């Protein structure tokens, strides 16, 4: 089924990135078609775990025309983010079509328009497309040896809701990203035991420095040489976090900028995690080797994985929470050869262009130390200005 109108701009995704792009496009005089796969605006954030707060702080998390109120405090909560998002369309003067799962975005070269096809075979036509579907689209749970024999429960971190649900359980959290660390720390208050399986030593930094969010430092150092910034961050880690190797978390073997380039993972900023590791409420082990029934075999330490040591230990968790990341799904979604890298990430962001993909832009795909929401705000304005020139000229 094909829609009859050719839209000026279609936006795929109505999270913070898509809503920000729509707001800025309205300001330039366009009425974008905004498509969202979930039943309601704000659903992705609405389904995040209890207690979640923004690490970027209230000031640095403002979106176009949408600042958090003073009542949100220094670190807005999940529910305050949801409130901001669900009221965004009304404040911006646009609508969002929800419940539309976009399956394919392709370019019709003869007509020079974009075709957006949903999984129920609806097709929308547009002169330009903004991909605002988050990079964290498809959860990844590794295919550990014996995974299907596990007698307990395996969930992805995106399915985790409330730590209280795991009271009295033995939980294994796999991963070393910010979400895995915060989930492990929240579980430590209720679960009988919490073990964290780590493959790569994580970057750990303070959430704020003398009341200033770390994001603020990221903003001020954004355009400094990488080596200088890495040196500053390493200094902050040493002086404000300290050496955690005795607790099973050795210092990272590569700089933060290189580690981010490899896996696009921001440093752990959740302060209580450090206290929980030091107190033993969270036990650190190496990566998972195999699963057999109710037993999970892991390398004994993180150093084991780094040094090739095969010494293992066994655990008997009731629950495995896989904080093991996501894949974008962009290679299947965007029908443009070469526009994604080997990890499926878009090669362009903001108002950058890709040869063979006229008027196709990505927003919200990078998460720099200066803050993803701040980056989205800046990208939305740049994309709207670029499309204003292109579409009016066309």
Q: Do the beta carbons of residue 366 and residue 349 sit within 8 Å?
A: yes
- What are 157-176's pLDDT values in tens digits? 999 999 999 999 999 999 99
Look at residue 265 and tell me whether its pLDDT is greater than 80: no
Is 3.50.50.60 the CATH number for 2-137+328-393?
Answer: yes
Percent of the chain having pLDDT more than 70?
A: 98
The whole-angstrom separation of Cα 210 and Cα 290 is: 44
| pLDDT for the residue numbered 4 | 59
Average per-residue pLDDT for the chain: 93
| pLDDT for the residue numbered 244 | 93
Q: Which of 272, 278, 208 is nearest to 249 (CA)?
A: 278
Look at residue 139 and tell me whether its pLDDT is greater than 70: yes
- pLDDT interval class at 304 (50, 70, 90): confident
The whole-angstrom separation of Cα 15 and Cα 26 is: 17
- C-alpha dist (Å) from residue 122 to 1, 35, 94, 102, 359: 5, 12, 21, 9, 22
What mean pLDDT do residues 100-113 have?
A: 96
The whole-angstrom separation of Cα 105 and Cα 214 is: 37
What mean pLDDT do residues 100-106 have?
A: 97
- pLDDT interval class at 295 (50, 70, 90): very high
The whole-angstrom separation of Cα 282 and Cα 297 is: 18
Is 3.30.1370.60 the CATH number for 140-325?
Answer: no
Look at residue 182 and tell me whether its pLDDT is greater than 90: yes
Give the lowest-confidence range in 89-93, 225-229, 291-295, 328-332: 225-229
| pLDDT for the residue numbered 368 | 84
Domain with CATH 3.50.50.60 in the chain: 2-137+328-393, 140-325
| pLDDT for the residue numbered 394 | 65
Look at residue 107 and tell me whether its pLDDT is greater than 90: yes
- What are 26-51's pLDDT values in tens digits? 999 999 999 999 999 999 999 999 99
Q: Which two tokens stand for residue 344?
A: 């499926």
- pLDDT interval class at 257 (50, 70, 90): confident
- What are 68-87's pLDDT values in tens digits? 999 999 999 999 999 999 99
Look at residue 2 and tell me whether its pLDDT is greater than 70: no
| pLDDT for the residue numbered 3 | 58
What mean pLDDT do residues 304-317 have?
A: 86
The whole-angstrom separation of Cα 380 and Cα 26 is: 11
- pLDDT interval class at 181 (50, 70, 90): very high
Model pTM? 0.92
- What are 320-343's pLDDT values in tens digits? 999 999 999 999 999 999 999 999
Q: How many CB atoms lie under 10 A from the CB of residue 129?
A: 29
Percent of the chain having pLDDT more than 90?
A: 78
Look at residue 216 and tell me whether its pLDDT is greater than 90: no
Helices vs. strands in the chain: H and E counts, helices first: 12, 18
What mean pLDDT do residues 253-274 have?
A: 82
Look at residue 197 and tell me whether its pLDDT is greater than 70: yes
| pLDDT for the residue numbered 98 | 97
What mean pLDDT do residues 252-275 have?
A: 83
CA neighbours closer than 13 Å in the CB half-sphere of residue 170: 9
Q: Which of 268, 269, 213, 233 is nearest to 61 (CA)?
A: 213
Look at residue 141 and tell me whether its pLDDT is greater than 70: yes
Look at residue 89 and tell me whether its pLDDT is greater than 90: yes
Strands 113-118 and 123-131, bridge-based pairing:
antiparallel
């Amino acid at each position: 089924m094909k829609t009859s109108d050719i839209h000026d701009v279609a936006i795929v995704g109505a999270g913070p990135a898509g809503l920000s792009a729509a707001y800025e496009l309205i300001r330039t005089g366009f009425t974008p078609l905004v498509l969202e796969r979930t039943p309601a605006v704000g659903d992705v954030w609405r389904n995040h775990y209890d207690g979640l707060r923004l690490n970027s702080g209230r000031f640095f998390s403002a979106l176009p025309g949408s600042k958090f109120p003073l009542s949100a405090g220094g670190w807005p909560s999940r529910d305050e983010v949801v409130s901001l998002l669900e009221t965004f369309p009304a404040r911006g003067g646009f609508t969002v079509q929800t419940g539309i799962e976009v399956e394919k975005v392709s370019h019709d070269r003869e007509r020079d328009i974009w075709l957006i096809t949903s999984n129920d075979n609806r097709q929308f036509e547009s002169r330009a497309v903004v991909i605002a579907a988050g990079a964290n689209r498809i959860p990844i749970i590794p295919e550990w040896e014996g995974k299907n024999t596990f007698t307990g429960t395996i969930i992805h971190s995106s399915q985790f809701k409330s730590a209280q649900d795991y009271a009295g359980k033995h939980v294994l959290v796999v991963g070393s990203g910010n979400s895995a660390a915060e989930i492990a720390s929240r579980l430590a208050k209720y679960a009988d035991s919490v073990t964290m399986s780590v493959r790569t030593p994580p970057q750990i930094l303070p959430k704020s420095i003398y009341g200033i969010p770390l994001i603020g430092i990221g903003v001020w150092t954004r355009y400094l040489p990488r080596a200088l910034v890495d040196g500053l961050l390493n200094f902050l880690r040493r002086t404000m976090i300290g050496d955690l190797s005795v607790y099973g978390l050795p210092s990272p073997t590569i700089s933060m900028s290189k580690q981010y380039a490899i896996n696009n993972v921001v440093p752990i900023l959740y302060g209580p995690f450090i206290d929980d590791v030091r107190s033993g409420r969270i036990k650190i082990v190496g990566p998972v080797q195999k699963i057999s029934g109710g037993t999970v075999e892991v390398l004994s330490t993180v150093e084991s994985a780094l040094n090739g040591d095969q010494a293992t230990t066994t655990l008997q968790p009731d629950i495995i929470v896989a904080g093991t990341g996501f894949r974008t799904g962009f290679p299947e979604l965007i029908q443009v050869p070469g526009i994604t890298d080997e990890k499926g990430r878009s090669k362009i962001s903001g108002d950058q262009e890709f040869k063979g993909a006229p008027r196709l832009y990505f927003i919200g795909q990078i998460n720099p130390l200066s803050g993803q929401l701040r980056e989205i705000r800046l990208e939305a304005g740049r994309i709207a200005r670029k499309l204003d020139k292109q579409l009016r000229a066309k």
